[in-house]
Amino acid sequence: MLERLPETVKVFEVGPRDGLQNEPRQVSTQDKVRLIEALAAAGLKNIELTSFVSPKWIPQLADGLAVARAVKLPADVNTSALVPNFKGYQSAKEAGLRQIALFMSATESHSQKNINKGIADALSVLKELSQAAKADRLTVRAYLSVVFFCPYEGRVNPASVAKLLLELQNMSIDEISLGDTIGAATPKQVVELIKLISSDIDLKKIALHFHDTMGTALANVLAGLESGITTFDASIGGMGGCPYAPGAAGNLATEDLVYLLNESGIKTGIDLEKLVDCGKLAQEILGKELPGRYLKACLSSREKKVRAQAEAQA
């Protein structure tokens, strides 16, 4: 075991979009910019800045264009934003982003409930938008959600996921992120799905997007690493995507992921201490504690040190 780990891993930060989108407290444009710049300063080279969807759907990200225009980032950061349609695509282009991110579901029911479109129609939209992006020399990322479990259909057939991946690959999409949307996947499912697709799909183009609802996210990352996947999505502090009660874990926390990768001897180019500062900043901006485990342990241990120093001086 652990004999086939990659040397380097790409961490794709989704906090400023996926993390923030369901947050009830309105975050200012300035705070969003601060957070994104801090994430880049911690070494993250792939950041989803915002989403260009209708403010009616996601009021939190209504200032997407302002955010994307205001951030000052190093030249080698891949700036991405979620776009649902041509209007959103125009905004991404206007903002000078490098990548657009598209989304669709792996099941018919989730697709209908989520975007009011079936899979076939969603694929058409993805095809048109990715062609436009290619013409404009933007790269394209696609999110495929509910690839393991669907809240409406239960366990998802890996063969149907494999079929969709082939269609997406034929559209020359640069990266496809497979989402465990309800956070119920386990390593066995991860290994089985990757094994099934590995003969037809270039695994370098596959990212895994886990939620830590059941505490299985890092076990799934390990299964993904061993199966040949080298890109993982994560959200600073574990922000966002809570399908259950308040306090329940949502997205895999970037710090938890980077801790595991560091300790496994895998390079990410990310400074874990600075990442903890980003998590602290995210907590301040949102005015609440985030579910990330490493963050909690680290901040508590910093606090203890500060208290001990204060007591020693008293």
- Give catalytic residue positions: 242
Closest CB to a second copy among residues 177, 213: 213
288 vs 155: CA distance, rounded Å: 33
Q: Does 51 bind a second copy (CB under 8 A)?
A: no
Of the candidate residues 159, 215, 269, 309, the single one contacting a second copy (CB under 8 A): 215
Closest CB to a second copy among residues 41, 248: 248
Structure tokens at 7: 């040397």
- x/- mask, a second copy, residues 257-286, rule CB under 8 A, reads --xx--xxx---------------------
Report how far apart, in Å, the C-alpha atoms of 305 and of each of 2, 280, 293, 308, 311 are: 35, 16, 19, 5, 10
Structure tokens at 64: 């997407």
127 vs 162: CA distance, rounded Å: 18
Closest CB to a second copy among residues 6, 187: 187
Structure tokens at 45: 């080279």
Q: Which range touches a second copy (CB under 8 A), out of 24-32, 159-167, 272-280, 295-303?
A: 295-303
191 vs 206: CA distance, rounded Å: 13
Contact present, 224 and 3 (Cβ < 8 Å): no
Q: Does 293 bind a second copy (CB under 8 A)?
A: yes
Closest CB to a second copy among residues 1, 135: 1
- x/- mask, a second copy, residues 241-260, rule CB under 8 A, reads ---xx-xxx---x--x--xx
Q: Which range touches a second copy (CB under 8 A), out of 115-123, 126-134, 198-206, 221-229?
A: 221-229
Closest CB to a second copy among residues 63, 212: 212
Of the candidate residues 73, 132, 219, 281, the single one contacting a second copy (CB under 8 A): 219
- Spatial CB neighbours of 119, under 8 Å, sequence gap ≥ 6: 104, 105, 107, 108, 111, 164
Q: Does 210 bind a second copy (CB under 8 A)?
A: no
Q: Does 187 bind a second copy (CB under 8 A)?
A: yes
Distance between alpha carbon 260 and the CA centroid of its chain, in Å?
17
Q: Does 189 bind a second copy (CB under 8 A)?
A: yes
Query: Which residues contact a second copy (rule: CB under 8 A)?
Result: 1-2, 4, 183, 186-189, 191, 212-219, 221-223, 226-227, 244-245, 247-249, 253, 256, 259-260, 263-265, 289, 292-294, 296-297, 299-301, 303
